[in-house]
Amino acid sequence: MPLPHRVVIAVFPDVDLLDVTGPAEVFALANREAAGRTSYQVRLAGPAGGEVRTSAGVRLLADLAFEEVDGQVDTLLVPGAVEMTDKGPLARIDTNVVAWVKETARHARRVASVCVGAHVLAAAGLLDGRTATTHWSTAAQLAADHPAVTVDPDPIFVRTDRGRLWTGAGISACLDLTLALVAEDLGEDTALAVARQLVMYLKRQGGQSQFSVPLSRPASARRDIDELRLWIADHLDEDLSMDMLAARMCLSERHLARVFKQETGTSPAAYVEAARVEVARRLLESTDSPLDHVAAATGLGSTETLHRAFKRQLATTPAAYRRRFRTQTA
């Protein structure tokens, strides 16, 4: 029987619980789906072994102390911890954890960070000269603390150094990153089978945004603008021209444009286009519908308009996007 992939997940006081248990669950389901093929052996390693209290108050039991981790590590997974300050969440860096990660990474085939664990990898010097992502709320901190790292706060995960280094976005994105690791090791069919077991709507690929269009804009101070945004999302295949939206709001076009930009940071037309492109992305990822059907279903009207919108929003073409992100069913 092939040797299992040895996965070591770092745990330490106040570590984010899902950053640890999410990947562990994905690997466990991959073992089930692999049915006797090369599988995963997951071990938790902590500063002193034994009990570790997470940020959620739930206690984990480390299998090993840091000093007991020896031999070849296939995948070193590094989660993170944050502390809340007056200015928002701040990634917490433990110098002992950083030192251990730096040393252990030398003997690991692959190193991945989950959420703000990217700050630990950066502090260990592993991300210098590379592009990395992290939870959007601490991306500015990562960029400021580590100018040698190119920080991209948008993707679900980033794979670099010929697949040896991975950084993942926040919280539930740990599932997407771990599924990608499984796909690399055991194939897309196994990863998709695990995604179905997790009842995930879609196995998202690296490079995709952490945000949907509604989530990427803060809530408005005006309830009527928020209601309009929700209505737009439910009627993307209908007429959403400026005069129609203004009539719905009982406002002049000029006044609607002003208050919408004031509340959302963008114009109504740009918001509608971004929302339509987001739905078009989902269709390209999950169906083989022709481009003209995708354009019609999302209200973009024609293939030409679909192309122009993708160029503006994503700097790529619909066909290129589909080739990269199409999720094949098993």
Q: Which residues are catalytically annotated?
A: 115
CA torsion angle 297 300 305 306 (round to 10) = -50
- Kindly report the backbone phi and psi dihedral angles of residue 258, in degrees, each rounded to the nearest multiple of 5, phi listed first: -70, -50
Counting every residue written for the chain, the total comes to 330
Nearest to 152 by CA among 139, 162, 165: 139
Q: Give CA–CA dist 143/263, Å, rounded.
A: 28
Q: Which residues partner with 42 through β-bridges?
A: 7
CA distance 31 to 23: 12
CB 196 within 8 A of CB 143: no
> Other CB atoms closer than 10 Å to residue 58's CB: what's the count?
11
Other Cβ atoms closer than 10 A to 67: 11
In the chain, at which residue ranges do the beta strands (DSSP E only) sit? 5-10, 40-46, 50-53, 59-62, 64-65, 73-78, 82-85, 88-91, 108-113, 131-132, 150-151, 157-160, 165-168
- Cα 246 to Cα 194, 240, 283, 299, distances in angstroms: 46, 10, 29, 18
User: Exposure pattern of 247-278 as b/e (b: 16+ CB <10 Å)?
Assistant: eebebebeebbebbeebbebebeebbbbbbbb
Pairing status of strand 5-10 against strand 40-46: parallel
